[in-house]
Amino acid sequence: MPQMGPLMWLSLYVYFIFIYLYVSLVIYYLFMLKLGSLSSLKLKVMCWNMKW
């Protein structure tokens, strides 16, 4: 196996970070979808009340 340079490792690391972010975003979206629009709306109202 050829020796991997530091740049190769860095690009691989960044690539894995992007995959992780994408997967977590998809899981979060599906979770919110599963909760339903009513629950998310209630959550939004709670967040809105906390802001003020």
Confidence (pLDDT) at 24: 93
10-52 pLDDT tens trace? 999 999 999 999 999 998 888 877 776 666 677 777 777 877 6
Q: How far apart are CA 25 and CA 31, in angstroms?
A: 10
pLDDT at 40: 61
Q: How far is CA 49 from CA 18, 38, 42, 44, in A?
A: 33, 16, 11, 9
What pLDDT was estimated at residue 19? Answer: 96
